[in-house]
Structure 1
Amino acid sequence: MNTREPPATTLKEVSWADKSYLIVDDFVGVRQLLRESLRNLGARNIDQASSGGEAMNLLGRIRYDVVLCDYNLGEGKNGQQVLEEARQRNLLNPSSVWMMVSAEKSTESVMGAAEHQPDAYLIKPITEGVLLTRLNRVWHKKQVFRPIDQAYGEKDYLRAARLCDEEIARGAQKEGGNVHRIELLRMKARLMEKSGQPIKAREAYDEVLAEREYQWARTGLAKIRMANGELEQARQLFQGVIAENRHYIDAYDQLALAYQQMGQLEEACSVLERAARLSPNSVPRQRHFGQVCLKLGNVGMAEKAFRKCIAIGEYSYLKTADAYLGLARVCGMKNEPKEALLLLGHAQREFPTDDVRLRVKITEGMVYHETGDYRRARKSGDELEEMLALSPQRPDTATCMEMATLLFVVGVKEAPVELLCYVIRNNHDSLLLQDEVQRIFDKARMGEEGVELIRASKKEAADLMNQGVLLWKTGKLDEAIAWMRTARATLPNNLRILFNAAQILVSAMQQNGYQIMLADEAIEVLLHVDRIHPGQQRFAQLMEQLALLAPDGTLPPADDAPAD
């Protein structure tokens, strides 16, 4: 962390006796040494785990104040994977301290752990004095950020940003200034981005950069430019950050995304290859690398990335079916259907959900088609049609488009048309997606028909939404709420319908008083929005309105939301 820290001697003494601790290390001798060091500081409540799995069991039952976790834990999860799962599952309090402990000094290991943001990274051997100094510093910082983190956990981003401002103002009155000012500005900038307010985020980053050149602030400005469509300016900023600090891994990931949005897949692939060499143990990065290589038709690099992703993801909470499906596609391109089918079977056993079962069947059809087994490819298409007929729900946008592409290829027409119209109705404001759908129609030799289908689907979605808004505007709140429930069931991923549904629920409570059932429904709708379209200004505004309506002024924690 590059921010200025106060000397340990200036910090208020912390009582370590009433805190709860977890020591995670696969060597009993190290656990005993750390336990004795903590006991000498006055600690009494100390638990121990000898493996990542044992640590996760304890973290799932107990909220620890301090976790000391070794990086290398032998067979099973390593310390990085324990930390990432604890963060993803929200098993840590906002004030909890996580200290990664390791004898490992390699760049690969340190960067891998640092990507998941432990509060400190300690290199063995650790003296009692070093442990006390780092604990003191980190603990005091966590207490400053505790109410901010709490509001963040509730997804009340605007309240969290105000708390940042209040803490900055409070610190300015202290003798010696506010030692956490830069970190508070960093948090405020992130909150403004999540609130859909890039101008205020940019102001916070500029305030930081006026004092010192922090690469994370430069990267933050570049992300804002990228989100605003200023792709070339963003690319230059990301490249500048990398030139200044070739180990700043987030800049590589963002630069690759910028290149992808510019349609320059070769450049994106090259950047991801460099990033994967620097920090190879990131499951999402290897997955992304493989997917870009697959789009380019670079079968060798895609295979290497997907195999690495599967290997490092074996014990990771971030493991998904994507690497197995991607590698199966690679095997299809290499005319190796036997291994492809084994991978698909493994994916279905590992991830036994309806969504994955559907994606496995799509990939199976593509593998058969790529290896020239058109009879089996058509059979997979027929089975997909049956699966669609049996389920009233439709999958996510990307899966719908993949399925439509396969069904057209194997000679089916009606089902893929329905899927693509469903995609348009759920995204009737997205010109980019409409263009992608039109390209699929064009490949299926349905160009003119596709234009008309897209137009009609957009109108259908707009009419459905407008009727609910009209009922609301004419004061028929109960009817408007009922109508929007039907609209949400029909088009569960239409952003404007979701936002209007939440707004009508909020309006009903503003007029008639807070009702827990309506509040819960509004929160459920908004959390769904944040999962499928994060960073929306209207999301932050509606969450704040809900918090103001709540009797205690706060919302329940968003336990189903992944950590940032």
Structure 2
Amino acid sequence: MALNLKNHKILVVDDVREMRLSLTTISKALGARTVYEAKSGEEALEQLQSHSIDIVLCDYNLGPGRDGQQVFEEAKEFGLIAPHASFIMITAEASIDLVMAVVEHSPDGYLIKPLNKSVLEMRLEKVLHRKRVFKEIEVQMVAGDYAKAAAICDVMIKGDPKLRLDLLRMKAEALFELGDADAVSEICAGVLMEREISWAMVLMGRANYLDGNFAKARSLFSKTIEQNSNLMEAYDWMVRIDREQGDFVKAQKIQEAAVLLSPKSIKRQQLLADLAKHNGDHEVACKAFQAAVDLGENSCFSRVDDQVGLVNAVAETGGPEAALKALDALNKPRKGRPPIKPDWRLDLSQGQLLLAGEKAVPAKEAIQRAYARYLEEPRDAADPASMALAKVCYALGMMSEAQKLMDRIVRENHDREDIISAAKEMFSGLGMEDLGSDLIENARREVVEINNRGVALAKEGKLGEAVELLTRASDELPGNLTVAINVLQVILSEAQTSGYTNQRQYTMSEFLKRAERIDGTNPKLIKLREKIARMRQDAA
């Protein structure tokens, strides 16, 4: 049956008017009634926000601003593409770097220019057929109902054996999300007995990782790469295992190999930069941070860490003056590149570099800017840069600012011995042991007293007062995990005794997010999350 796009809304994205016209004409010739156009990445995102699009035909190179890959990344990140929608990337180039950059982010397909009606029709038929067949499974996966997705796979396997391998893969993915490592391994072993398929080997590796069999998992990922050196997921899992095992040097080597294959991936460059920084490999860090900065110019995955990391890596390899020049280059406007946003960590780097060059007056001006910007918005007080800012404030005689910073850092991390030890070491290095000892003792005592008072109120049955006290404390110290957990525990108790209301559900959700941002792996938090989920299910 001929393809008919009558009921599909299509978005054509290309910076060249003639190409937009050509793709629009072809789409209408295939029956499309509604075709939107965008001549830039920014316009494409606006159209995706304004309309429910079924098919996106997007050129890779879109001139100044976001490219097609960045449009796709951002649309996926912010949920602008529905599970049923199709995204086709179109490019005039066929270089391995560009192809890897495109396929790594899993669009529904990509096409090489020039293309005509028959080529586009054939590709769309395949893509739309697959979307139709697997639509319900994808909907359940996106909704997080993995058990239902796996059950649908079972029904469909019986109904259409030709789709068996695709459905087994989707079922294994669903079971992995459910944490059923044995079931995943059983599916993959059955597939691998028939023939060695890369996805089955990777999923079996992931199942072994889930079971804690890291050596076996790593061996399977390594074997996958030997058979298919372009399968980036296998590299990702090897790096993940090496990092978790504490072998950052090995992780860096694997990541360097991955970046060679896919250099246009900003997340890969960022991870390589972070690993090289951790390993003290400043040359590799410098190149990777520079690549991440360049790739991040119009990306939603851009980080200030990349800009700060680049400046610091240049300082290590070329000295303070070279680093200041790198910082100036970042601040200079460039055609097609938005100016970097002011950030206290960049001001901190500038102040440190100027101080290292014995330029105390401009150094102090930079640090004053850093301190003012630090206070303007909530920041993670456990960030090493926070303590570095306090240290340079002390060095420049900004005692009041330094004391306020250290007081906040200690109070937000009063039970984290690594942070407290680092604070003591900093004060010792500055010759301020007594001052530091008093500050740390007073700040820790204050937080402990608030926590104890809140817990005591809860035990007395004064749950409302306990919630109010601990909520104020958590709002003042948003980075303190213990306080956030105590708030959740008291609200949960209040819900159990007085009822599970929408307001309590919302408040718990907000504090749960706050706690997870601090440390989502904390055992107490994991138990609380499970209790809250059970209560939510019971209420439903």
TM over 0.5: yes
SS in 1 for 2:63: coil
2:265 is equivalent to residue 282 of structure 1: yes
Equivalent residue letter for 2:303: T
Are 1:327 and 2:310 matched, yes or no? yes
Alignment of 1:239-278 (within 5 A): 239-256=222-239, 258-260=241-243, 264-278=247-261
* Residues 417 and 134 (structure 1), Cα distance of their counterparts in 2 relative to 1, 3 Å cut: same
| TM-score (norm: length of structure 1) | 0.76
The alignment partner of 2:56 has SS state of: strand
What is the aligned partner in structure 2 of residue 133 from structure 1? 126
Asked if 1:189 is matched to 2:176, the reply is yes
Partner Cα distance (1:525, 1:518) in 2 = 11
Greater helix proportion: 2
Q: Secondary structure at the match of 1:314?
A: helix
- Opposite residue 349 of structure 2, the aligned amino acid is T
Distance 2:160 2:63 in 1: 47
The answer to whether the Cα contact below 8 Å between 1:99 and 1:120 also exists between their aligned partners in 2 is: yes
In structure 1, give the amino acid aligned to 2:472.
T
Greater mean alpha carbon deviation, residues 452-461 or residues 50-59: 452-461
Task: Pick the aligned partner of 1:403 from 389, 400, 413.
Answer: 389
Distance 1:302 1:493, change over 3 A: same
2:50 is equivalent to residue 61 of structure 1? yes
Once the two structures are TM-superposed, the CA of residue 441 in structure 1 deviates from its matched residue by 5.3
Which of 468, 474, 478 lines up with 1:482 in the alignment?
468
Partners of 1:211 and 1:401 in 2: how far apart? 54
Alignment partner, residue 195 of structure 2: none
Conserved 8 A contact 2:206-2:217: no
Map 1:24-43 → 2, pairs under 5 A: 24-43=13-32
Name the aligned partner's letter for residue 231 of structure 2: Y
Q: Which runs of 5+ in 1 are unaligned?
A: 1-8, 153-159, 193-199, 554-564
Q: In the alignment, does 2:70 pair up with 1:87?
A: no
Which has the higher mean CA deviation after the structures are superposed, 211-220 or 272-281? 211-220
RMSD: 4.0
Q: Which amino acid aligns with 1:247?
A: N
Rounded to whole Å, the distance in 1 between the matches of 2:308 and 2:423 is 22
- Which residue of 2 is the match for residue 18 of structure 1? 7
Q: 1:19 touches 1:65 (CA, 8 Å); kept in 2?
A: yes
Whole-angstrom CA distance in 2 between matches of 1:371 and 1:34: 58
Secondary structure of the corresponding residue to residue 298 of structure 2: coil
Q: Structure 2 vs 1, CA of residues 448 and 145 (structure 1 numbering), >3 Å: closer, same or farther? A: farther
Q: Does 1:144 align with 2:134?
A: no
Partner of 1:6: none
Other-structure match for 1:161: 146
Distance 1:120 1:483 in 2: 54
Alpha-carbon distance in 1 for matches of 2:373, 2:65? 36
Provide closer, same or farther for how the CA distance between residues 29 and 357 of structure 1 changes in structure 2, counting only shifts above 3 A: closer
Q: CA deviation at 1:67?
A: 1.7
1:447 CA drift (Å): 7.7
Identical aligned pairs, as a percentage? 26
**One-letter amino acid of the counterpart of residue 47, structure 1:** Y
What is the alpha-carbon distance in structure 2 between the residues aligned to residue 392 and residue 65 of structure 1? 39
Residue 211 of structure 1 corresponds to 190
- 1:319 aligned counterpart, secondary structure: coil
| Residue 313 of structure 1, aligned match among 265, 277, 296 | 296
Contact 1:219 1:241 in 2 (8 A): no
Residue type at the aligned position of 1:93 = A
1:202 aligns with 2:189: no
Note the C-alpha offset of 1:122. Answer: 4.0
For 1:101 and 1:297, locate their aligned partners in 2 and report how far apart those are by CA, in whole Å: 40
Distance (Å, rounded) in 1 between the aligned partners of 2:464 and 2:39: 57
Q: CA deviation at 1:296?
A: 4.6
Answer yes or no: is the 8 Å Cα contact 1:218–1:241 preserved in 2: no
Amino acid at match of 2:203: A
Whether the aligned pair in 1 keeps the contact of 2:147 and 2:174 (CA below 8 Å) is no
Match of 1:559 in 2: none
| CA gap 1:137/1:237 in 2 versus in 1, 3 angstroms | closer
2: CA distance, partners of 1:421 / 1:549: 42
Larger-gyration structure (1/2): 2
Following superposition, the deviation at residue 83 of structure 1 comes to 0.4
Deviation track 1:37-87 (CA, whole Å, cap 9, x = no partner) reads 544554322212233222122112112122222323333322111001111
* 1:368 corresponding residue in structure 2: 354
CA separation of 1:457 and 1:238: change in aligned 2, threshold 3 A: farther
Cα distance change, pair 407–51 in 1 and its aligned pair in 2 (3 A): same
Name the CA distance, whole Å, in 1 between partners of 2:17 and 2:306: 36
The residue aligned with 1:155 is none
Task: Provide the residue aligned with 1:520 in structure 2.
Answer: 506
Higher RCO (C-alpha 8 Å, min separation 6): 1
Cross-structure match for 1:118: 107
Residues 1:466 and 1:183: Cα distance change in structure 2 (over 3 Å): farther
Q: Shift of residue 115 of structure 1?
A: 2.7
**Superposition deviation, residue 323 in structure 1:** 2.5
The more displaced of 94-103 and 526-535 is 526-535
Q: Secondary structure at the match of 1:210?
A: helix
- Show CA shifts across 1:211-258 (max 9, x none): 345244255347647xx7x87777656545434432232443454455
TM-score by length of 2: 0.79
Distance 1:27 1:73 in 2: 8
